[in-house]
Amino acid sequence: MTDIKNQPITDAVAESITKVEELAYELLINQVMTRDIATVSPSDTMEFVAILFREKRISGSPVLRDGELVGILSIEDLIRCLMAVDLPSTVEKYMSSKLITVKEFDPVIEALKTFVHNRVGRLPVLDEQNKLVGIITKGDITRGLLKKLTNEFQQEEIRVYRASHLFEDIISTRTSLVLRYNIKPRDFIHGGTASSYIKRALMRLGASPQIARRCGIAIYEAEMNLIIHSRNGGIIRVEIEPHQITMETIDDGPGIQDVDLAMKPGFSTATEQVREMGFGAGMGLANITRCVDQLKIDSSLERGTRLKMKILLKEQESFGDSRGNHLEGTP
Amino acid sequence: MKLFDIAQKLDLHQFTHLEVDSVDESTSAYCSDMLSCVMTGAGHHAIWVTLQAHQNIVAVAALLELTAIIISENALPDAVTIEKADQEGIILLGTTAKNFEVCGKLWELGLRSS
């Protein structure tokens, strides 16, 4: 279904295939290609090529005439020449002058596509002036992707490590981390962005997947409420403490007319247009109730709505070392 | 059943550019066009059947860590939705069939509610 299929990929890469595809679009050809390459000229003898390939342990080489790329010579061409016992002949006779090239600033995916459509082992890489700047092989791509994957994996591990020790490393009477997000009204395009950031932050801090999921769902519903209902948007404020997560949304109107009614599953004041998008099922507050330990709604038609949700963490779920991270005898 | 086999048996086409071959076995599915109901009802790694095709389905699927969304009745996600799904690793599949038919076929293939 995708272009990366049919490529020789190591087991390590296969495990995170989607990540690899993403990287294949990010990584540029000139970041993985080989720059230091041996070239031959059309007038060189095939005998010279045989020695060059053996000494440099290479299986192909671009052919340059006065610095211009005019062809490519592969080990198959050399074998043809050897079988014909024709080593004194020149490169010109055996080279392939059908040039398939890639550009140095193209993403690696372009080279992969070219490899799929043409049965070649290497591609000359050209700069913007069409001058040869390197050679790229499938091996170069695999190495480049692996290197980048390893780096990114380590970076995320370091992030998780640093974040998950935050509460242990800082000693205070009461340590908390506050995250704030501004939500615009009717901004359906970005709906769910703040909740996914919050979920990721919790995962990095070392929250269990269940806790992160509960917070994610509760905050998503609250975020969509701001987008769907609030007059001028609102604020999401999340306070993370070792033993609890407090999530609040604050807006300045229009307020909920009847909170008890709003809590009823299936009740919704969403417009027809919003319902057509699949929102306004009247399940938002019901979903929040299911996910959090405490829910407090403070709403009035004058001031707007303030939603306060709390998830209490059990001893084994708490962030940091639950014994040593706060000062003795204090709340 | 493997998502790859499901996609073939139901003649689904992929909007995203993700590798379907390597996805683990799928055992559960959920169907609704109301996002909040999906939030309640869809299980971890489930396949979600809906005729919604706007960007927010990706946000929901990512939060719930769903495997794939089957978009029914020929509804077409826009480029931004597809790009976002690619980023989040949510496979978007399309079909001309209706929700009811898709679910019937998934049930026949052995998938159940979460």
Instruction: Give the model's confidence band at A326: pLDDT under 50 very low, under 70 low, under 90 confident, else very high.
Output: low
Q: What is the count of structural domains for chain B?
A: 1
What was the pLDDT predicted at A133?
Answer: 94
More confident residue, B105 or A164: B105
* A325 domain residue, yes or no: no
Residue of chain A minimizing CA distance to B60? A192
Helix/strand/coil for A289 = helix
Q: Is there a single domain that holds both residue A219 and residue A247? A: yes
Rounded-to-integer distance, Cα A180 and Cα A193, Å: 13
Check: CB of residue A47 under 8 Å from CB of residue A88.
yes
Task: Please determine, for residue B76, whether its predicted confidence score (pLDDT) is greater than 60.
Answer: yes
The angle formed by the CA atoms of residues A310, A316 and A318, to the nearest 5 degrees, is: 45
What was the pLDDT predicted at A194?
Answer: 95
For B36, which of A188, A192, A221 is closest by C-beta distance?
A221
What was the pLDDT predicted at A294?
Answer: 96
Q: What is the count of structural domains for chain A?
A: 2
Rounded-to-integer distance, Cα A320 and Cα A322, Å: 6
Q: What is the per-residue pLDDT across B86-109, written as a single tens digit (0 to 9) for each? A: 999 999 999 999 999 999 999 999
* A152 domain residue, yes or no: no
Average pLDDT, chain A: 87
Residue of chain B minimizing CA distance to A200? B63
- Is the overall model pTM greater than 0.90, yes or no? no
Q: A35-39, A117-121, A326-330, B98-102: which has the minimum mean pLDDT?
A: A326-330
Instruction: Give the model's confidence band at A3: pLDDT under 50 very low, under 70 low, under 90 confident, else very high.
Output: very low
Q: How far is B16 from chain A (nearest CA, A)?
A: 9
Q: Is there a single domain that holds both residue A20 and residue A140? A: yes
What was the pLDDT predicted at B95?
Answer: 97
Check: CB of residue A61 under 8 Å from CB of residue A37.
yes
Residue A37 parent element (H or E): none
CATH number (domain holding residue B96): 3.40.1390.20
Q: What is the per-residue pLDDT across A5-40, written as a single tens digit (0 to 9) for each? A: 444 545 544 444 566 777 888 889 999 999 989 999
Which of the listed residues A145, A177, A203 is the one where a domain comes to its end?
A145
Check: CB of residue A65 under 8 Å from CB of residue A72.
no
How crowded is residue B72: how many other Cβ atoms within 10 Å of its Cβ?
Answer: 25
Cross-chain residue pair A21–B39, CB shorter than 8 Å: no
Cross-chain residue pair A22–B63, CB shorter than 8 Å: no
Mean predicted confidence (pLDDT) in B55-76 = 94
Check: CB of residue A220 under 8 Å from CB of residue B39.
yes
CATH number (domain holding residue A229): 3.30.565.10
Domain coverage including residue B12: 3-108
Chosen from A3, A10, A18 to mutate, greatest number of chain B CBs within 10 A: A18
Q: What residues does A296 pair with on adjacent strands?
A: A308
Average pLDDT, chain B: 93
Domain coverage including residue A62: 11-145
Rounded-to-integer distance, Cα A203 and Cα A184, Å: 26
A-B contacts at Cβ under 8 angstroms: 91
* A46 domain residue, yes or no: yes
Mean predicted confidence (pLDDT) in A174-186 = 94
